[in-house]
Amino acid sequence: MFENFKLDFIETPEATLRVRYGGAGPPVLLLHGHPRTHTTWHRVAPILARTHTVVCPDLRGFGQSDKPPDSADHSGSSKRAKARDCIALMRSLGFDRFALVGHDRGSYTAFRMAMDHPESVSSLAILDGVPIIEALERCTERFARQWWHWFFFAQPDKPERAILADPDAWYGGSPEAMGIENFADFQRAIRDPETVHGMIEDYRAGLGIDRAHDEEDRRQGKVLRCPVLSLWSLRDDLEDVYGDVLAVWRPWAPDLRGHGIDSGHHMAEEAPDRLAAELLRFMRTDRPGP
């Protein structure tokens, strides 16, 4: 797994992150979702590394990266805080500007990074995600039925107790589908109480401080200044919940393209060749944004 990549722990001003990086060429940062770690990219990263320098961290609160202290507003788990970590990480590796890819919960950190640090993000690929404020404003009965976990995870204490009672039953997964080493890393994460708490805090921040940051951007008329690619899994429920996914993104992304791909939700594990091809095509054709 990750042949010829380096595994390291890199200290940033606010958190120490576990990071895997390798390859050569223009830099690209890959951000995982819930409940994965950076190893979810093990089938995609080597393909991208043939032409790019690929950086894959465990986000703050996830995997073996630092867990933020608790606070009433969950600011330590905000996407703004995680974006600062990632900017500092890339600068420590010598990259002031880079392509950015975020999946699932990682897409919210990627979105926030591109909004807060437009000078650093040359292009943004969002996998199975829309801005948090757009998701919450579209909270219909269908959303509540299919994405009920957003609201359960916002409750104090109970989500952690439910998950840790039987993490394997809660999250599922298998070595056959995920790959043996990726599955082992995932299992270490979901069985660790501190990591489970860190992952759930990501959702608590999402319903409060992260939404407030999106609302402030909207009031100020801010939009993404880089090319944006939105990809979603046709065998997951993004289209079912939102209908026209690109229509959700257009108010935020003047330079937008995207479509669904034949995959389940964890597309980096289920459709790595197709995903890598889409990302490489996008990174070759991206151009300065408005």
- Using only the alpha carbons of the chain, give its radius of gyration: 17
Whether the CB-CB separation of 66 and 96 falls below 8 Å is answered with no
Query: Three-state DSSP class for 224?
Result: coil
Our answer to whether residue 104 is catalytic in this structure is yes
Identity of residue 37:
T
Instruction: Look up residue 167 and give its two tokens.
Output: 């993490």
Residue among 125, 78, 76, 134 nearest 104 (CA): 125
SS3 percent helix, strand, coil of the chain, rounded to 5, is 45, 15, 35
Q: Is residue 211 within 8 Å of residue 224, measured between CB atoms?
A: no
- Given the residues 58, 66, 104, 210, the one annotated as active site: 104
Catalytic residue among 117, 192, 237, 265: 265
**Which residues face 231 on adjacent strands?**
127, 259
Distance CA 9, CA 1 (A): 18
CA 33, CA 197: separation in Å to the nearest integer? Answer: 15
Kind plus residue range of the DSSP H or E element containing 124:
strand 121-127
Please, which residues have CB within 8 angstroms of residue 157's CB and are 6 or more apart in sequence?
A: none
Q: Which residues are catalytic?
A: 104, 265
